[in-house]
Structure 1
Amino acid sequence: MTTIDTLIHLGAGPCRELDAHLALQPERLILVEADPSLAEALSARVQGRESVDVRHLAVASKPAEVIFHRYNLPDAGSLHPATGLKALFPGLKRLQTLTMEAVGIGDLIDSFRLEPDAVHRLIVDLPGEEFPCLRALYDGGQLHRFQWLSMYCGHEPLYEHGLAAGAILDWLSEQGFDLVECDETQDPDRPCWILKRNPLKLECLTLQSQIQQFLADKSALTKDKAALSAARDEQTKLAAERQQQIEALNAEKAALVNERAGLSAARDEQAKLAAERQQQIEALNAEKAVLAKEKAALSAARDEQATLVAERQQQIEALNAEKAALAKDKAELGAACDEQAKLVAERQQQIEALNAEKAALAKDKAALSAARDEQATLAQARQVEIDSLKSRLQEQQKRVTELESQLTERDQRQALLDEELHKAEGQIELIKDLLLRSELG
């Protein structure tokens, strides 16, 4: 017989199974009971036994303030009202309700510091709280610390919020526990279900979980691959658009260069015309100076040449008319010069604006070139990542094949074990018949 390191009985009550527990010779026997009177009586029964530890505690799926219901049947006490049990036992009466602080089952199991490689057994006798506690142990990774699991539970729900035994047993089967026996000797309405942890089933469940995880990873990789392909196509499209923009900017740049050359030629032509106008103005000024000199000479000779006054007066008037015409031409040339200067200034502003646009275009071209180089680098990195994902996918597919092969071998071994178990059960039945016949004889 395998030595049991720790046997834990949650909801021990009066513990009619105490002799059977002690017969298993566990290294530690821990009895937990919420009813204070039953816990006190139980402590008195095991006094002097160092391996037995009695705890007066209310146990729930998580720490909370709870109400313990005491009934006139000692085993009927629970954290939940006995609604279904009262239908079976009309004489059942609630004697008292006690407010307590319940300890969470996960914290309680951790406090026992169970050895990881030893054999442990858990007995759950928590009416109405069976499944929440078992589920809490599973969620906390503590359920599979126990090789043996016993549960007192009715075929039908006997307590408020409780579940039928069948539903809980189905769930435990999914977690890798096989039903070994249903003991109805103490209470056929609420028998003791004895289960044993099946390592092969647990291994199969682990393999199934790994396969499901692999399939999920494979699906995620497929989605990532599709997303990367879409991103690559988008980058290719973006690169093509950028190339079109660069070509359009180059065409605009060439047009601006041509326009600049035309403006430079126009500027030179205007400069030449302005120089010619300046020469004409200087010549007119020289002629004006000569005319002024001649007018002064004529004025000095007017007294001496009185006889020639009329003729000279006519000459002076003619010169004045010519002078007015020259002054008018000078004013027109001045206005034309100002207009040319204004036009030259406007052309200079246009040239400066074109130079600024040219610099901006050169800067945009450099930025586009850098973006194109960055996109090429990113595309190369994406290709490397895709190749890596393909390699991982091939390794995962290879692993799935190996796992499927192992699972097939496990199924074959399980079938052989089941066949051997059936044979052993048949032999046990045969031995029972022989013993019975021997006793009758």
Structure 2
Amino acid sequence: MVAFSLSFPAEFVLHIGAGCSRAAEGYVQAGLGPVVLAGTDPETLPELQALAQRFKPVQAARAAVSAGGGAAVLYRCNFPDLSSQAGPAETLFRLFPGLEVQQEDLAQTQAVADLAALCGLPAERGKAGGEPKQGLLVIEAAAQPLALLQALEQAGCLQHFQVLRLQEGHKPLYRGASGMAALQAGLEDLGYASQLEAAPADPDRPYAVAWRNKAAQARAAAQADLQQQLDLCASDLAELQQRYRAVLQEKEAQEDLLRQLAALAGIAGHG
């Protein structure tokens, strides 16, 4: 994890999930700041808060994290790293014989956009007029990567993360999970190119590394500009069509008046 944090240009980091406490010191040593840590299980909060006391750049979430905040069910497993806010699917039980859901707890969660605010997003980064600061986003939250990304996008925060590292099952391992193929398709829709890390420690739950796809962003900006021009043209056309109909109505009224005058002139001539 320390090597990864040094491999990409980043100035701050938001790390959500099981490995954030293990990575914290590496982020600090790499000079990143702020380093915002969050878990999906309230039981991890004391450890994260202790790290915040130990390292000045570290900030810890005040609650477990979800896409929208509010109450969520936490499925606690006998393998803690497999606990999640979504129930395990049959695929996961087959991969981990002996896996059991030992407890289902209701917990209050913090919205991921609130965590982004700890990084100074969306308003503060790049506010002085220079290049926006570049962030690293790491998500190791089972079944949640795509939902968390979409929530950050909706809040106007995702664009500030130049590099992402996301763990997801090759196949959906939790009820409602996306699976890696759907996650990568979602990343493309959000303007990121991605590839899987080579030789993952867990081949069934690999990491996708994603980065801002500048070519795709340029195409999207050009498409948006073209669409705006088309909308303006459509508006102008609608206005011209309305004026044309008004001219036609006036023309018909004038022709009707001329017919009436001609009829009157004929009557007067015969008189």
Q: TM-score range by the shorter chain?
A: 0.7 to 0.9
TM-superposition CA deviations, 1:404-427 (whole Å, max 9, x none) = xxxxxxxxxxxxxxxxxxxxxxxx
Question: Is 1:55 the equivalent of 2:70?
Answer: no
> Hey, which of these two has a bigger chunk of strand by percent?
2
In our comparison, the structure showing a higher alpha carbon Rg is: 1
- Give the match for residue 199 of structure 1: 214
AA partner of residue 222 (structure 1): L
What secondary structure is seen at the aligned counterpart in 2 of 1:26?
Answer: coil
**Which structure is higher in RCO with an 8 Å CA cutoff and minimum separation 6?**
2
- Give the match for residue 21 of structure 1: 27
AA partner of residue 105 (structure 1): V
- Give the match for residue 262 of structure 1: none
CA distance in 1, matches of 2:77, 2:17: 15
TM-superposition CA deviations, 1:143-170 (whole Å, max 9, x none) = 1111111111111111111112122212
- Give the match for residue 136 of structure 1: 151
Query: TM-score, normalized by length of structure 2?
Result: 0.80
TM-superposition CA deviations, 1:284-327 (whole Å, max 9, x none) = xxxxxxxxxxxxxxxxxxxxxxxxxxxxxxxxxxxxxxxxxxxx
CA distance in 2, matches of 1:20, 1:182: 19
Alpha-carbon distance change, 29 to 230 in structure 1, aligned in 2, over 3 angstroms: same
TM-superposition CA deviations, 1:202-256 (whole Å, max 9, x none) = 122211221233234334433443343233212211333355557778999x8xx
CA distance in 2, matches of 1:77, 1:93: 10
Identity of matched residues, %? 24
Query: TM-score, normalized by length of structure 1?
Result: 0.51
Equivalent of 1:172 in 187, 209, 217: 187
- Give the match for residue 155 of structure 1: 170
Equivalent of 1:97 in 98, 101, 104: 104
What secondary structure is seen at the aligned counterpart in 2 of 1:161?
Answer: coil
- Give the match for residue 70 of structure 2: 64
TM-superposition CA deviations, 1:384-439 (whole Å, max 9, x none) = xxxxxxxxxxxxxxxxxxxxxxxxxxxxxxxxxxxxxxxxxxxxxxxxxxxxxxxx
- Contiguous gaps of at least 5 residues in structure 2: 1-5, 127-131
Question: Is 1:124 the equivalent of 2:139?
Answer: yes
Alpha-carbon distance change, 224 to 57 in structure 1, aligned in 2, over 3 angstroms: same
- Give the match for residue 3 of structure 2: none
8 A contact 2:61–2:115 mirrored in 1: no
Alignment RMSD: 2.9
Following superposition of structure 1 onto structure 2, how do residues 14-413 of structure 1 map, counting pairs within 5 Å?
15-44=21-50, 47-83=53-89, 84-114=91-121, 115-116=125-126, 117-179=132-194, 181-182=196-197, 184-244=199-259
Which shifted more, 231-240 or 23-32? 231-240
Alpha-carbon distance change, 204 to 61 in structure 1, aligned in 2, over 3 angstroms: same
CA distance in 2, matches of 1:108, 1:251: 87
CA distance in 1, matches of 2:178, 2:251: 61
What secondary structure is seen at the aligned counterpart in 1 of 2:232?
Answer: helix
Equivalent of 1:6 in 5, 8, 12: 12
- Contiguous gaps of at least 5 residues in structure 1: 259-441
1:39 Cα deviation from its structure 2 partner: 2.6
What secondary structure is seen at the aligned counterpart in 2 of 1:148?
Answer: strand
